[in-house]
Structure 1
Amino acid sequence: MTAATSKSLTLEEFLQLPETKPASEFLAGKIIQKPGSKGRHSCLQYEVCNVINQATKNQKIAYAFPELRCTFANRSIVPDIAVFRWQNIPFLSDGQVPDRFSFPPNWVIEILSPEQKPNQVIGNILYCIENGSELGWLIDPDDQSVLVFWRDARRAVASRHRAPSLRQENDVLAVLAEIKLELTADQLFSYIKMGN
């Protein structure tokens, strides 16, 4: 995340502002603009959406949306990838995907950019988990690791997440239970090795 504005706004006021490129998020009363996408980030975002959608779309299990604004619990965020179970997508009466999603994704995926503060990105993932997301990934292209976060419904509301797990190399990455996808960290990072 790069720029933050100092003027305090309400969520409703923020949502009336025109969209920015790159996207801006509303966090704790502040507007924070995400950094622009670069090569590795764009490649990972496209390929991860594609591999998830290949495993889920035809069977209507889930769908991975890139850069989808999700507004809930006094925040408005734009995860790099927001995965929603099919039954949780609020389709319009004609079957179209709506423009507005007013709840957290079932699975939130962020790809760390060098300009971003890791704890701020982790904070967004944890906020999603605390507000209903079941799974979160923080993909770090620099050290080729994925930090995986889970929701634990058995815990108290104040702490709904289990300890994160660092996945590297041949470690299989966790996905939503009904998704038939086995992907290792090495396989994920092979997507950015296009010149080989």
Structure 2
Amino acid sequence: MSLLRFTQNFYGTVMLQTRKNLTLEEFLLLPEDDVTYELVDGEVISKMSPKFFHSRLTKVLLKLLERWGENKGEVAVEWAVVLMRQGKSWVPTPEILFVSYQKLSADWMENEACPVPPELVVEIISPGQTFGQLAAKARDYLDAGVLRVWVVDSQARSITVFYPDAPPQTYMGSTPIIDALFEGLEITAEQVFQLAKIPGN
């Protein structure tokens, strides 16, 4: 019997499963390849391959966050982060994350997963995923100590911000996303989708 099989999990992503639950240490020792994996409940999950709109949105958001975050912290694309979910090790790989130099020193230089919960993670809904699935993942991030989660929906042309201590808020059009946690950062959903050249519905 093969050690591997494919199913779909509650986030709507394809799971590459082993016959036994992997520990965090075993997962982190897996060889790198062209596929991005996450660890959820001891199972190895293969993230969906980004499509064109997804790639463009990632690029635009990265540029905007890097411009704002210079000298403030690390802005990274698809950098795995070691967290806890329901008492078990969890290693998600968000499209983008921001972790401040207050949480992770500027001189930290290890070729490893992010060892602390970042202030911000950005997840972009892929074809085959639903907003509800990403909202569930956002709650897991918040429960694990992440302070903000942005869920980007190219169909709705919206960015929904999830908070640990307040209801989520959805931004569309020219309403700016202003957050005291990210002083000086002011962007709008329409700005992001226009810069990414995502056609309207």
Alignment of 1:1-196 (within 5 A): 1-6=12-17, 7=19, 8-57=21-70, 60-73=71-84, 74-91=89-106, 95=107, 97-100=109-112, 101-152=114-165, 162-175=166-179, 177-193=181-197
TM-score by length of 1: 0.82
Alignment partner of 2:82: what SS?
A: strand
* Deviation readout 1:159-188 (Å, 9 max, x if unpaired): xxx211111112212445243121111111
How many residues align? The count is 181
CA deviation profile, 1:57-113 (whole Å, cap 9, x unmatched) = 1xx22332110010122101110001111222244xxx3633221222110100111
- Conserved? CA contact 1:169–1:185, under 8 Å: yes
| Alignment RMSD | 2.1
Point out where structure 1 has 5 or more consecutive residues left out of the alignment: 153-161
Pairwise CA distance, 1:26? 0.5
Is the 2:174–2:190 Cα contact (8 Å) retained in structure 1? yes
Compared with structure 1, are the counterparts of its residues 99 and 122 closer, same or farther at alpha carbon in structure 2 (3 Å cutoff)?
A: farther
Decide whether aligned partners of structure 1 residues 33 and 141 sit closer, same or farther in structure 2, where only a CA change above 3 A counts: same
CA distance in 2 between partners of 1:47 and 1:179 (Å):
19
- Aligned residue for 1:102, secondary structure, equals coil
Deviation, 1:55, is: 1.5
C-alpha change, 1:121 and 1:12, in structure 2 (3 Å) is farther
Q: For the residues of structure 1 that align with 2:83 and 2:13, how far apart are their CA atoms?
A: 22
Q: Tell whether the 8 Å contact from 2:103 to 2:116 is kept in structure 1 after alignment.
A: no
Rounded to whole Å, the distance in 1 between the matches of 2:146 and 2:43 is: 22
Structure having the larger proportion of residues in strand: 2
Counterpart secondary structure, 1:170: coil
8 A contact 1:145–1:167 mirrored in 2: yes
SS at match of 1:89: coil
Unaligned runs of 5+ in 2: 1-11
| C-alpha distance in structure 1 between counterparts of 2:109 and 2:184, whole Å | 23
> In structure 2, how many angstroms separate the alpha carbons of the residues matched to 1:133 and 1:42?
23
Return the letter of the residue paired with 2:27.
F
